[in-house]
């Protein structure tokens, strides 16, 4: 059948309809042929016998903090980490760079850095903050994947949380632009009031931190955002949702036909509040890890398809910002460093809870592609699609160590965790970028990808 750039033989391809043993021929960065018994010559032949071939993960929520905070995490180390975890496209959040992406100049500055340094493809979120409503149209025209705003304090002076008036006016503009607004949904009033109360009492332990960010703070913010979306017609994407009550609010809105999607993160599914008690700041995030009974509810909701997608919320920082000798738990940076482990986490959960692997492919690849306008080229294994592939063995384990964690800073909640699977290869548009523990690409060749459109994942209910 001619010459291919790559032929992957005998793999268990995770297709939308299920797992099928087949061969995959790749030409010019695209999947050219999916066929058993594929013949032909290739520059690279990969024997995937007893291996599973997934569509590469599309992680819609990471924080690579350059320019300005590259010492936290930059495109170079961050993209190597994503490739090592089977992620072939990531969406970088707008807030932690200096400047943050709140105008076109900052967007193009960041995009240039990404195209220079990233080993895999990326998209960029734009920010919505008080005072930049007039910048939203230009950001949309320039190719942001969507917009991000915070309903509680960001921890970043350059990127402020939105007030209600900004939220309403910005949502109306975003609706007209046919974009999606991603929201960090915790009530600023509730969280700040409870935090001030704890600080006055001189309390700052793990249980105290959990109590300052209760489930009601998440549900109040989610409900308020839904009311505003009903008023403005703005499509919403709720990031890192951590509670069943919040999902109940979101599910009610979906049943009304509202254009809303929701993600959760692997750390809410694999870990719970006891990790914060035992390990301190390395397990601190916002919203916080919930108690074990809430974690079990989230797993049930996942099995019931009430989460649309999975994202890492990879949020790294230098070690000193989480060092308990320097900062109290309340002062420490709140974020989990773990983008490399999201895909393996989900396969672990699939193996443990008997979740079909095609569901994992949906949550990690096809649903993000559909929601954010990339489905014509990314998100599934099909002829004509970008050859973005992650190859796993489910017969060998992977234990997280500092040596095999590619992030710039090696502290992570996942450190020491053993996954019952392992990434053996990652292809980005047909290029082998990661193989058996090492990055293969000689130089970064990731591209800035822009959306064709944004769509609902479920049909409107009339």
Backbone angles phi, psi at 455, to 5 degrees: -135, 160
Within 18-103, where are the H helices?
Answer: 75-84
Cα within 13 Å of Cα(426), Cβ side: 29
What pLDDT score was predicted for residue 461?
30
Q: What is 54-371's CATH number? A: 3.20.20.140
Q: What is residue 411's DSSP assignment? A: -
Helix or strand run (H / E) with residue 251:
helix 244-255
Instruction: Kindly indicate the confidence band of residue 452, based on its pLDDT and cuts at 50, 70 and 90.
Output: confident
Instruction: Kindly indicate the confidence band of residue 457, based on its pLDDT and cuts at 50, 70 and 90.
Output: low
Name the residue ranges covered by the structural domains of the chain: 54-371
What pLDDT score was predicted for residue 459?
38
The string of DSSP codes covering 98-164 is: SS-SSSHHHHHHHHHHHHHH-SSEEEEPEE--TT-GGGHHHHHHHT-S-EEEESS--S-TTSPPPPH
Q: Are 238 and 263 in contact (CB under 8 A)?
A: yes
* Cα–Cα distance measured from residue 202 to residue 319, given in angstroms and rounded to the nearest whole number: 25
The 10s digit of each residue's pLDDT in 355-379 is 999 999 999 999 999 999 999 999 9
Q: Are 75 and 64 in contact (CB under 8 A)?
A: yes
Task: List CB contacts of 320: < 8 A, sequence separation 6 or more.
Answer: 326, 327
Q: Average pLDDT over the chain, rounded to whole?
A: 95
The 10s digit of each residue's pLDDT in 35-78 is 999 988 999 999 999 999 999 999 999 999 999 999 999 999 99
**Percent above pLDDT 70 for the chain:** 98
What pLDDT score was predicted for residue 455?
52
The 10s digit of each residue's pLDDT in 158-191 is 999 999 999 999 999 999 999 999 999 999 999 9
Strands of 285-336, DSSP E:
309-310
The string of DSSP codes covering 156-218 is: -TTSPPPPHHHHHHHHHHHHHTT--EEEE---HHHHHHHHHHHHHTT--SHHHHHHHS-HHHH
The tokens describing 423, both together, are 């990434």
* Cα–Cα distance measured from residue 250 to residue 262, given in angstroms and rounded to the nearest whole number: 8
Is it the case that residue 462 has pLDDT exceeding 70?
no
């Amino acid at each position: 059948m001619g010459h291919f750039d790559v032929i992957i033989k005998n793999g268990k391809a995770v297709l939308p309809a299920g797992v099928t043993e087949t061969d995959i021929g790749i030409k010019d960065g695209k999947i050219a042929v999916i066929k058993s018994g594929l013949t032909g010559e290739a520059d690279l032949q990969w024997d995937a016998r007893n291996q599973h071939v997934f569509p590469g993960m599309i992680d819609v929520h990471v924080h690579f903090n350059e320019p300005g905070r590259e010492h936290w995490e930059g495109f170079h180390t961050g993209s190597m980490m994503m490739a090592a975890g089977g992620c072939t496209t990531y969406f970088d959040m707008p807030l932690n760079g200096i400047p943050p992406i709140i105008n076109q100049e900052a967007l193009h500055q960041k995009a240039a850095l990404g195209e220079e340094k990233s080993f895999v493809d990326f998209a960029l979120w734009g920010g919505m903050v008080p005072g930049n409503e007039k910048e939203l149209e230009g950001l949309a025209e320039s190719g942001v994947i969507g917009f991000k705003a915070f309903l509680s304090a960001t921890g970043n002076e350059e990127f402020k949380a939105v007030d209600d008036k900004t939220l309403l006016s910005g949502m109306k503009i975003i609706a007209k632009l046919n974009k999606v607004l991603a929201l960090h949904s915790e009530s600023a009033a509730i969280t700040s009031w409870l935090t001030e109360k704890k600080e006055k009492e001189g309390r700052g332990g793990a249980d105290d931190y959990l109590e300052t960010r209760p489930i009601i703070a998440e549900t109040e913010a989610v409900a308020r955002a839904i009311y505003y979306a009903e008023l403005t017609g703005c499509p919403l994407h709720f990031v890192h949702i951590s509670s069943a009550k919040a999902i109940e609010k979101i599910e009610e809105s979906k049943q009304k036909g509202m254009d809303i999607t929701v993600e959760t993160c692997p750390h809410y599914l694999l870990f719970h509040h006891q990790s914060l008690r035992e390990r301190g700041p390395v397990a601190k995030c916002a919203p916080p890890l919930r108690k074990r009974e809430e974690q079990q509810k989230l797993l049930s909701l996942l099995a019931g398809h009430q989460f649309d997608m999975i994202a890492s919320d990879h949020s790294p920082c230098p070690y000193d910002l989480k060092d308990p000798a320097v900062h109290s738990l309340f002062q420490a940076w709140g974020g989990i460093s773990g983008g490399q482990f999201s895909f393996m986490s989900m396969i672990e959960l699939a193996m443990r809870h008997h979740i079909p692997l095609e569901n994992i492919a949906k949550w990690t690849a096809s649903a993000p592609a559909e929601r954010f306008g990339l489905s014509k080229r990314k998100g599934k294994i099909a002829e004509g699609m970008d050859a973005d592939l992650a190859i796993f063995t489910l017969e060998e384990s992977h234990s997280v160590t500092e040596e095999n964690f590619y992030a710039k800073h090696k502290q992570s909640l996942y450190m020491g965790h053993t996954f019952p699977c392992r990434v053996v290869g990652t292809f980005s548009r047909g290029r082998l970028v990661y193989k058996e523990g090492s990055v293969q690409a000689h130089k970064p060749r990731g591209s800035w990808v822009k959306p064709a459109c944004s769509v609902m994942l479920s049909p409107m209910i009339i």
